[in-house]
Amino acid sequence: MLLTREEMTFDFHGAKLDPVRDRELLEWMFNQFLYGEVTGIQVGHWLYEAPDMEAAKFLARQSLEEMQHVDNFLRIMAMLGLEPRPAHPAIRFLATGMMGSSWAEHVALEMAQGEGFVLQAFYAVIDTLDHKPSVDILRRAVKQEERHVEFGEQQTRKAIEAKPWLRRRLLGLALVSMWGVRRLIGYLEKRTPADHPVLSQLPAFLEHANRCAELRLRRIGVLDRPLSELSGATRTLLVAEAYGGKALGGLASLVTLPLRLLPLWPKKKRLTDTYLRDAHVTGYALPAPEAARAPD
């Protein structure tokens, strides 16, 4: 990876999440992760778009790993006595509604940036969750997530080497997700309980995540100077250009695939819509709450 584990790690100063005291928070958090892993079904779409054999083989393996991560989270949730519930609409929109419209967008925004962000959240849970069996499962999963991020970085480099004009577009789209994180920081700053050892540090953690995203963009070669040197007008222009390109792409698919875009055409239900009713998910029995307090 272009960023080390040390660079991506946020120092929570030893603060811990307690499986009993923080049960509600953990249930919310793990349900967002669970949904994120179910969106691994999208890898199938990108396997079909893979530019070469090496990429196809990587994605075939990744799809299996993401499905294993679904089981990892179900196992952790069962151990902690947490129930599978729907993910927050904003998370559903970010993970499904914002799916990349080209290979370059997928590897840059969903793999390098998106999975990079998720990886940082996994590191944070590993460092703070006071439940060794869950942390052990996560430690194994992060090795695979690190490879997914690395693949995203390498493929983004290849894409911009072949088409340098893509840098502007990818930067514009990346700025939007970083802006989204900044909005979240503003929202959380007013609402995080100052007396909670971990939650009170969440805004600072997200700021750190944005700094890492900027560093990654620079090391990949999408960004050639610190973001602070780009004026507000330049940023606005980059975002407008990137979304202008997306709108044009949408217009092209309107011509080629008219039925898919008709508003009344029923949307196909996918696993991301139905997983909570799936026998595989409901089959994970909830243990007695004592399990959450089981000795390490």
- Distance in Å, CB of 195 to Fe ion, minimum: 33
- Distance in Å, CB of 196 to Fe ion, minimum: 27
142 or 227: whose CB is closer to Fe ion? 142
**Distance (Å, rounded) from C-alpha 255 to C-alpha 261?**
10
- Distance in Å, CB of 188 to Fe ion, minimum: 24
From 74, 116, 137, 132, select the one nearest 278 (Cα to Cα): 74
Binding Fe ion (rule: CB under 5 A), the pick from 69, 157, 169, 208 is: 69
Token pair of 24 as six digits: 């509600």
User: By CB under 5 A, is residue 148 in contact with Fe ion?
Assistant: yes
67 or 204: whose CB is closer to Fe ion? 67
**Distance (Å, rounded) from C-alpha 103 to C-alpha 113?**
14
Q: Could you give the string, one character per residue 8-47, with x where binding to Fe ion holds by CB under 5 A and - elsewhere?
A: -----------------------------x----------
- Distance in Å, CB of 118 to Fe ion, minimum: 7
Site residues for Fe ion, window 210-239 (CB under 5 A)? none
Do 122 and 141 meet the contact criterion of CB atoms below 8 Å apart? Answer: yes
- Distance in Å, CB of 95 to Fe ion, minimum: 11
Stretch that binds Fe ion, among 143-151, 159-167, 209-217, 218-226 (CB under 5 A): 143-151
DSSP conformation letters of 184-242: HHHHHHHHS-TT-TTGGGHHHHHHHHHHHHHHHHHHHTS--S-GGGS-HHHHHHHHHHH
- Which residue pairs from 250-259 have beta carbons closer than 8 angstroms and sit at least 24 positions apart in sequence? 250/101
**Judged by CB under 5 A, how many residues of this single chain contact Fe ion?**
6
17 SS3 class: strand
- Distance in Å, CB of 114 to Fe ion, minimum: 9
Site residues for Fe ion, window 110-129 (CB under 5 A)? 115
C-alpha distances out from residue 218 to 2, 151, 227, 234, 249, Å: 10, 16, 9, 17, 27
Binding Fe ion (rule: CB under 5 A), the pick from 30, 32, 42, 66 is: 66
Site residues for Fe ion, window 149-188 (CB under 5 A)? none
| Residue whose tokens read 């999440």 | 17
22 or 146: whose CB is closer to Fe ion? 146
The residues binding Fe ion (CB under 5 A) are 37, 66, 69, 115, 145, 148
